[in-house]
Amino acid sequence: MRVRLYEDRALLAQAAAEQASAAIHRSIGERGRARIVAASAASQIEFLEALIAMPGIDWTRVELFHLDEYIGLPSTHPASFCKFLEDRLISRTGIVETHLLRGDAKPAAIIEAANAAIWEAPIDVSFVGIGENGHLAFNDPPADFTTEEPYIVVELDETCRQQQIAEGWFENLESVPKQAISMSVRQVLKAGEILAVVPGPRKAEAIRKCLEGPIGPLAPASILRTHAHATVYLDKDSAALLHAETLSALLEPAAGTDQGGRDQ
């Protein structure tokens, strides 16, 4: 894993989009298509805006997988992650092959279909965030680090549900669903490349725990430290609680020669 640090979230988003675009181009060039996973959260908005503005991506050759979704939430609800991806990525790019997790359908059927699709071939690149409680996808602590199932039903903890209120998706705790379908931790790690886009001061404590604490289920996104081609994009606010020693060990210069792709 490596860390890239930027002065603000706009610069972060642009740099992450450049790496994401390079990964998609590389996969299409090598295999004729790119299989990607996209997160749906407020932290991803600027990144997705920058990504769809990248020139030359043949989105008809991109196959999109969904990271997570609330159970019981209709796709028309403002907080629906299906709606987020439809509005902010699919409708604006022309992606035609998608595997969305419909929250108002039967979870078992949705999981069966998503598992079958994702087993067909490896994921080339995943775009993820890190929650205020350190969750990766909707795998709240203590996360399941052992299941090999690609998608699972998870219980959402109160910290996670409170974050959704703070970000304006729901009016109160009672309206936030208590369960979700989530890509499992081990499935996230199976992507060839992972970009974690994590801006903002509300993520600083989670970043400290995930990058400086022990790797384990109580800080789910800490598992990204085991992935050879994971890049965590931070701004000065989300990195504010990291010690200098941590940054020295993990930080890659923002203007490095490998700005668009993996370390070799």
Q: Where are the domains of the chain?
A: 2-252
Report the DSSP beta bridge partners of residue 66.
Answer: 38
Check pLDDT > 60 for residue 153.
yes
Query: In the prediction, which pLDDT does 171 show?
Result: 81
Give the chain's mean pLDDT.
93
φ, ψ for residue 190, nearest 5 deg: -80, -10
Question: Taking residues 239-259, what's their average pLDDT?
Answer: 77
Neighbour tally for 255: CB within 10 Å? 8
Check pLDDT > 50 for residue 258.
no
Question: Are 234 and 251 in contact, with CB atoms under 8 Å apart?
Answer: no
The dihedral over CA atoms of 114, 72, 82, 148, expressed in degrees to the nearest 10, equals -30
Structure tokens at 204: 């600083």
Question: Are 133 and 97 in contact, with CB atoms under 8 Å apart?
Answer: no
Query: In the prediction, which pLDDT does 169 show?
Result: 81
Query: In the prediction, which pLDDT does 165 show?
Result: 87
Q: Is it true that domain 2-252 has CATH number 3.40.50.1360?
A: yes
Alpha-carbon Rg for the chain in angstroms: 17
Task: Tell me which of 78-87, 95-104, 156-165, 205-214 is least confident.
Answer: 156-165
174 pLDDT tier (thresholds 50, 70, 90): confident
Question: Are 53 and 17 in contact, with CB atoms under 8 Å apart?
Answer: yes
Check pLDDT > 90 for residue 88.
yes
Check pLDDT > 90 for residue 255.
no
Check pLDDT > 90 for residue 170.
no
Q: Please work out, in degrees rounded to the nearest 5, the angle formed at the alpha carbon of residue 225 by the alpha carbons of 222 and 228.
A: 150
Question: Are 196 and 210 in contact, with CB atoms under 8 Å apart?
Answer: no
Query: In the prediction, which pLDDT does 81 show?
Result: 93
For 77, residues 6+ apart whose C-beta sits below 8 A from its C-beta are 83, 103
179-183, strands of its sheet edge to edge: 68-70, 179-183, 151-155
34-38, strands of its sheet edge to edge: 97-99, 62-66, 34-38, 125-128, 193-198, 230-235, 2-6, 251-252
For 23, residues 6+ apart whose C-beta sits below 8 A from its C-beta are 34, 124, 125, 193, 195, 261
Question: Are 221 and 140 in contact, with CB atoms under 8 Å apart?
Answer: no
Amino acid at 121: A
Check pLDDT > 50 for residue 263.
no
Question: Are 192 and 125 in contact, with CB atoms under 8 Å apart?
Answer: yes
Structure tokens at 150: 């690609």
Check pLDDT > 50 for residue 264.
no
95 pLDDT tier (thresholds 50, 70, 90): very high
Percent of the chain, pLDDT > 90? 85
Neighbour tally for 232: CB within 10 Å? 26
252 pLDDT tier (thresholds 50, 70, 90): confident
* pTM of the predicted structure, to 2 decimals: 0.92
Structure tokens at 219: 């800080």
Query: In the prediction, which pLDDT does 254 show?
Result: 55
Percent of the chain, pLDDT > 70? 95
